[in-house]
Structure 1
Amino acid sequence: MNQQNDNTVLFGNGDELPSNRSDNPHINDLIGGLNRRQVLVGGAAMSALAFLGAALPGDAMAADTQARGNPFKPRSRLPFEAIPTGRADTISVPPGYKATPFIPWGTPITGRYPAFLDDASNSAQDQAEQVGMHHDGMHFFPIDARRGPGLRSDHGLLVLNHEYIDAPLLHPNGPTLVDGKRASAEEVRKEINAHGVSVVEIRRNVRGDWEVVPSRRNRRVTAATPMSIAGPARGNKLLQTRYSPNGTATRGTQNNCSNGFTPWGTYLTCEENWAGYFATRDSALPRELQRYGLRSSSRFGWETLPGDDFERFDATRKAADAKGDYRNEPNHFGWIVEIDPFDPDSTPIKRTALGRFAHEGLIFAPVKPGRPVVCYSGDDSQNEYIYKYVSRDKYRPGKANGRLLDDGTLYVGRFNADGSGDWLPLDLNDRNFLKACLAAGVAFADQGEVLINTRLAADVVGATRMDRPEWGAVNPDNGEVYFTLTNNTARTVADAANPRPANAYGHIIRWRENSRDHAGKRFDWNIFLLAGPEGDSRAPNGQPLGAQNILASPDGLWFDDEGRLWIQTDMSGSQLSAGPFGNNQMLVADPRSGELKRFLVGPLGAEVTGISATPDFRTLFVNIQHPGEGSTATNLLSTWPDGPGKRPRSSTVIVTREDGRRLL
């Protein structure tokens, strides 16, 4: 046998192949007879940037200035110097600010607190006690948030996702393969333990610097952690496996991209490109596997090793029924997982009422006592959909908990060409859904099967295919919902909500619900920003993007408490290596004025992602993922954050003002 460390067979970039073959309208088809120039220039662009009957952002501030009789330009809500694009292997922020790396991959947080070794020779058990790899979505929970409003800004729990791993960097000399298959169970266990979520208690010390607190609350949730299943799909026959014959339990969460946090103080981690972790050699796949893009080989090859811990990643039918094999194991992924960060002994729960797809994140509409809980999530794959969930029961402060996420209605969005939109229920108790299923010749045995087949159900009702819907955010000023549509180079025909064919640059869409509690079925939408170069873009104020705000592939979104929108990018390939955009970046937009400025530029090859802040808004936490993407132990494409000769490590960055005041 030929022993090798050839990484060309496995370990791809993890993006799932498009699997939506429906004839549903694409958001780019909504433009109708308008040609591309009309969409991007002049009246059509202006109408796309304003809601029906509403002024453009800049118009509102100008009117306010004139009403006060002030002849001068209104004071900017972005009082920092925009930084230029760049391709340095460092973090760049405006003058007067500083950015400090914090808890990089391998930071010890629990158990024996094993130190990170520069040659990556840490064991699988070490990795289970260290911060995971490839930081992503994140939230700061003030330490007093468990039993109060959460006002502490010097002490709390920082909870963060770890989206995937770079196997060539995780091991001293990369992964060991024999005849194209995995040869080391220890290596694979280390990879499994590098996935998931880290819960880290942190506190400012007497010098004002943040540090990790040795604490019982510190915790790793990995791709092997036992979990329970709740909601309509619990106990469904399509969740039966050798590990859980009754379909109520599972192991692990993986490919955790963006996140959410609940009004009752728990963390939500979202499973995105999970399908590539599984393989199946069955020639005919059931719809719950085919529609999610499973293939005959997996991304990391974990299923090629013997033992139940690894065989669960092989979805091939091997037994007389599902209770004897892992044909249904992929159905245990693609969910949103609730974690109680304050209780290290709690069992994470997969909330199936929120649907099964490539969840990018979950954001809540403003909660109101006595009204339903409403939240939104995007399916991050080309030509997939945006969803909304409305709970059956009402929100009761002090009494609400995760059961609100088990009983309710999941809707999928249809964006109409006239700027209106509809939320279409995916519910067997809804007459219109049943009629759509009958017309399409599709049947579901129960609501659990609908949710296990969420994508198919959305196909059936005629939802609008979108350009990779990723992060969302809700404006605290007015409740408007914003979503990034990162890019979609596969699209050939434009529509109103996705107005560019071969959309390499992406855009940001927003909508306003017609119901004050966000629970209704109608909304109005428009385009907030078109990313791209100066000749093919539009800023929120309707002008082309320029030197201080040019961007591509918007991804992360977050509103601060004063209604400013923070935008993070995830460019890759040629957009990073050449052209006008430089490294990935983070910008700040003011929806009131339409102003947009670049605030941060990341190191080489990194994605800028994940963002949270302390209640006093004096500390901003930002995640830097996969610096030097594509590096190997012998070919380091970045050495951030540790410096020359050291392996690149995903890391959180702490951004503060040098004078210690509020960030903005």
Structure 2
Amino acid sequence: MAPSTTLHRRCPVSAVDPRAPSAYRPEPESNSDPNEPVDNPSTNPTFAEVLERRCSRRDVLRGSLNAVVAGLVVGSGLPALARAATAPGADHAAAPLLGFEAIPVDFEYRVQVPRGYRAQAFLPWGTPICGHFPAYRDGGGNSGADQECQVGYNHDGMHYFPLDGASSESHHGVLCINHEYIQPSDLHPNGPTVEDGVRTVADEVRKEIAAHGVSVVEIRRNPGSRSWEVVRGTLNRRITASTPMEIAGPARGSALLRTRFSPEGTRTRGTVNNCANGYTPWGTYLTCEENFHGYFLNTGEQPREHARYGVAAEKTRYGWESVRDIDEFARFDATPRGEEATADYRNEPNTFGWVVEIDPMDPEGIPVKRTALGRFRHEGAWMAPPVTGRPLTVYMGDDARFEYIYKFVTREPYNPRTASGALLDEGTLYVARFHDDGTGEWVALDFEDPRFRAAAREAGVTFADQADVLVNTRTAADVVGATKMDRPEWGTVNPQTGEVYMTLTNNSEREPDQTNAANPRGPNAYGQIIRWREAEGEHHATRFEWDLFVVAGPPDNSRIFNGQPLDASNVFNSPDGLWFDPNGVLWIQTDGDQSEPFGNNQMLAADPRTGEIRRFFTGARDCEVTGVDMTPDGRTMFVNVQHPGGSWPDGGDSRPRPATVIVTRDDGGLIGL
């Protein structure tokens, strides 16, 4: 059923086959980074092994997905989550949650939304937002100084902070947008200038650094229309890979964070590979550093805090470190060159891989890296709904093959009158162990916990203090036997039931003989969504029950928890972005295979009570659909389109530009309902 409204900017038919990769660029990198090695050397059980023990039927081992779902998802193991198909007390007779017609898959260089909706590109890469407000020049003509005043590249996670409160209007606010990585061929007229492996134009490197990070943009809806505009106000700013930042929490001042720039180990410069995000109840933004490892080089002997994370030994992603005569760039070379750590940048990689807190209402505020939340390839950081008098809980995933799911619980209870970022500096970091009976437990990564210290001794691993545990979070999780997962990415908490959902995007390294209930394909090309409920409904609990919400893939190799396979209205693979809106709709975004039957990457809406899933949005060919939020009135949705192909959104012979898309209903109603 074709939609009536599309946002369509594509290359001439004579130049580009709509079902072929972009003629302008090679197939873009996905979040499955080609520079991402499998770094987990532990013998901890994989999620596949857990599920194989739980579902030991011979037909499961033969790859029968029907038996997998019947035994795992609809069976008697988890009555609260699966057999009842929803949480206890939910109203099965309630009106349908999804109120739009599903759209078909698409292969074009355009954005598609359902009939009755419209979509408009907004804040594409290069949009001027601060400073001297330099206009975007197609063809890569802007300078590094220009880029420091423009919207960054490759939009990802984002959050809208209203300036008009939760009023019925919701027409004025601040949008914070992550910028994950860059495509150097787009940023410069002829690509980056390199001679004998050395970057020779410093301003090109400055521009690339400036295209990373976060854009903080004040925006307002134009009166009498559905369009939005940038407000040239004092709140607008760019936070880049060179912005000065404070280090807070247990790792502040650690010997492992001391550098030539900050001999005290209390400061660093910049944030990179900002993937998903989060926000706090006191009104700040959390941006998360994912694949930071590929930005750094260490050609010497690598300590575990480099090796376990995959710091490059031969070649970095962009070669910034080759500009050795500029300290800001040379810091990306972490090879030891002096007698002490403060003489070089051997510890510079240790200042990345954190959750960074930004105050969008304070343009002079210094971003803070909150080290108590652990150091790994953070996809995002999602808070459970705050409850006065109870600790705050933050859920996180480490987006790499065979890595772990974490949560952080604050030491102090939440008080809305006094809460601040300091709450995130004291508490307990946990890692998940999934058991084969459908239960699980959170294991503390706490240097003062005798059980943790005993596990470390048994594993033959030594930690000096909690700072060492946090800098080496992955190693700490290894020693306590955390369960290896298939690329944990975005998480979200159902605002109505408290259940936690997380995408497991895929795992190209899974072997055929490892197939089982939750990962019935080897390699696992399609991914799945896991969910769990904490014991007694308390997010700070240390035990939980889990099941699968959906196993993604083609119709003959997929299943929703209600037993239904995916079909033409909702077939998808590689779930990535995930978000519950205030009405309880679960929005699922994808970053994966764009061949038949899946089409371009997309965003779907799901009813968690019934398992109904419908396709709502498809992105431009070659893109990833990632990042979503709404205005408080639920009538304007923001969706990000990353690394689009063709010439989207400007059309003609222009270069493609990542952008935010504004989605509204023609009748001004609530999105999705």
Q: TM-score, normalised by structure 1?
A: 0.92
Alpha carbons of structure 1 residues 55 and 128: separation in structure 2 relative to 1, 3 Å: closer
- SS at 2:111 equivalent: coil
1:48, distance to aligned residue in structure 2 (A): 2.0
Alignment partners' CA distance in 1, 2:440 and 2:377 = 22
The answer to whether structure 1 residue 614 and structure 2 residue 635 are counterparts is: no
- SS at 1:41 equivalent: helix
Alpha carbons of structure 1 residues 616 and 150: separation in structure 2 relative to 1, 3 Å: closer
Residue among 445, 450, 453 paired with 1:431: 450
Contact in 2 for aligned 1:549/1:597 (Cα 8 Å): yes
Alpha carbons of structure 1 residues 323 and 231: separation in structure 2 relative to 1, 3 Å: same
Alignment partners' CA distance in 2, 1:102 and 1:39 = 45
The residue type paired with residue 640 of structure 1 is W
Contact in 1 for aligned 2:395/2:491 (Cα 8 Å): yes
- Aligned match of 2:289: 271
Alignment partners' CA distance in 1, 2:143 and 2:637 = 32
1:579, distance to aligned residue in structure 2 (A): 2.2
Alignment partners' CA distance in 2, 1:429 and 1:150 = 47
Contact in 1 for aligned 2:90/2:609 (Cα 8 Å): no
Alpha carbons of structure 1 residues 335 and 65: separation in structure 2 relative to 1, 3 Å: closer
After superposing the two structures, state which structure 1 stretch, 191-200 or 34-43, moved more.
Answer: 34-43
Residue among 506, 513, 536 paired with 2:527: 506
The answer to whether structure 1 residue 343 and structure 2 residue 362 are counterparts is: yes
- SS at 1:656 equivalent: strand
- Aligned match of 1:544: 565
Contact in 2 for aligned 1:101/1:654 (Cα 8 Å): yes
- Aligned match of 2:118: 98
- Aligned match of 2:580: 559
- Aligned match of 2:600: 583
The answer to whether structure 1 residue 179 and structure 2 residue 204 are counterparts is: no
- Aligned match of 2:131: 111
Alignment partners' CA distance in 2, 1:473 and 1:339 = 20
Alpha carbons of structure 1 residues 393 and 496: separation in structure 2 relative to 1, 3 Å: farther
1:139, distance to aligned residue in structure 2 (A): 0.3
The answer to whether structure 1 residue 79 and structure 2 residue 99 are counterparts is: yes
Contact in 2 for aligned 1:14/1:276 (Cα 8 Å): no
Alpha carbons of structure 1 residues 103 and 441: separation in structure 2 relative to 1, 3 Å: same
Contact in 1 for aligned 2:406/2:432 (Cα 8 Å): yes
Contact in 2 for aligned 1:144/1:151 (Cα 8 Å): no
TM alignment of 1:416-495, pairs within 5 A: 416-492=435-511, 493-494=514-515
Unaligned runs of 5+ in 2: 1-24
1:396-448 deviation digits (Å, cap 9, x = unpaired): 01210001100000000000111000100000111110110010011111100
Alignment partners' CA distance in 2, 1:291 and 1:150 = 48
The residue type paired with residue 102 of structure 2 is A
Residue among 334, 337, 350 paired with 1:331: 350
The answer to whether structure 1 residue 207 and structure 2 residue 204 are counterparts is: no
- Aligned match of 2:279: 261
Alignment partners' CA distance in 2, 1:29 and 1:103 = 45
The residue type paired with residue 80 of structure 2 is A
The answer to whether structure 1 residue 52 and structure 2 residue 71 are counterparts is: no
Alignment partners' CA distance in 2, 1:595 and 1:362 = 27
- SS at 1:535 equivalent: helix
- SS at 2:479 equivalent: helix
Contact in 2 for aligned 1:57/1:593 (Cα 8 Å): no
Alignment partners' CA distance in 2, 1:293 and 1:658 = 48
Contact in 1 for aligned 2:383/2:392 (Cα 8 Å): yes
- Aligned match of 2:666: 658
TM alignment of 1:79-478, pairs within 5 A: 79-144=99-164, 153-208=170-225, 209-282=227-300, 284-296=301-313, 297-306=315-324, 307-478=326-497
Contact in 1 for aligned 2:376/2:474 (Cα 8 Å): yes
Contact in 2 for aligned 1:370/1:394 (Cα 8 Å): yes
Residue among 611, 627, 631 paired with 1:594: 611
1:16, distance to aligned residue in structure 2 (A): 1.5
The residue type paired with residue 113 of structure 1 is F
The residue type paired with residue 45 of structure 1 is A
Alpha carbons of structure 1 residues 206 and 239: separation in structure 2 relative to 1, 3 Å: same
1:477, distance to aligned residue in structure 2 (A): 1.1
- Aligned match of 1:71: none
After superposing the two structures, state which structure 1 stretch, 466-475 or 34-43, moved more.
Answer: 34-43
1:573-623 deviation digits (Å, cap 9, x = unpaired): xx22x3210100000000111110000111110000000000110000000
1:13-66 deviation digits (Å, cap 9, x = unpaired): 565211001100000111222324576214753542566223747866999999
Contact in 1 for aligned 2:578/2:588 (Cα 8 Å): yes
The residue type paired with residue 224 of structure 1 is S
Alpha carbons of structure 1 residues 63 and 414: separation in structure 2 relative to 1, 3 Å: closer
The sequence identity of aligned pairs, in percent, is 56
Contact in 1 for aligned 2:68/2:518 (Cα 8 Å): no
The residue type paired with residue 219 of structure 1 is R
Alpha carbons of structure 1 residues 96 and 444: separation in structure 2 relative to 1, 3 Å: same
Alignment partners' CA distance in 1, 2:105 and 2:331 = 45
Alignment partners' CA distance in 2, 1:199 and 1:63 = 41
Contact in 2 for aligned 1:368/1:517 (Cα 8 Å): no
Alignment partners' CA distance in 2, 1:59 and 1:322 = 55
1:540, distance to aligned residue in structure 2 (A): 3.7
Alignment partners' CA distance in 2, 1:567 and 1:455 = 27
1:539, distance to aligned residue in structure 2 (A): 2.1
1:77, distance to aligned residue in structure 2 (A): 1.5
Contact in 1 for aligned 2:63/2:515 (Cα 8 Å): no
Alignment partners' CA distance in 2, 1:597 and 1:363 = 24
The residue type paired with residue 230 of structure 2 is V
Alignment partners' CA distance in 2, 1:490 and 1:427 = 31
RMSD of aligned residue pairs (Cα, Å): 2.1
Alpha carbons of structure 1 residues 37 and 586: separation in structure 2 relative to 1, 3 Å: farther
Contact in 2 for aligned 1:27/1:495 (Cα 8 Å): no
1:515, distance to aligned residue in structure 2 (A): 3.5
- SS at 2:555 equivalent: coil
Contact in 2 for aligned 1:57/1:591 (Cα 8 Å): no
After superposing the two structures, state which structure 1 stretch, 114-123 or 30-39, moved more.
Answer: 30-39
The count of corresponding residues between Structure 1 and Structure 2 is 634
Contact in 2 for aligned 1:420/1:525 (Cα 8 Å): yes
Contact in 1 for aligned 2:382/2:492 (Cα 8 Å): yes
After superposing the two structures, state which structure 1 stretch, 505-514 or 76-85, moved more.
Answer: 76-85
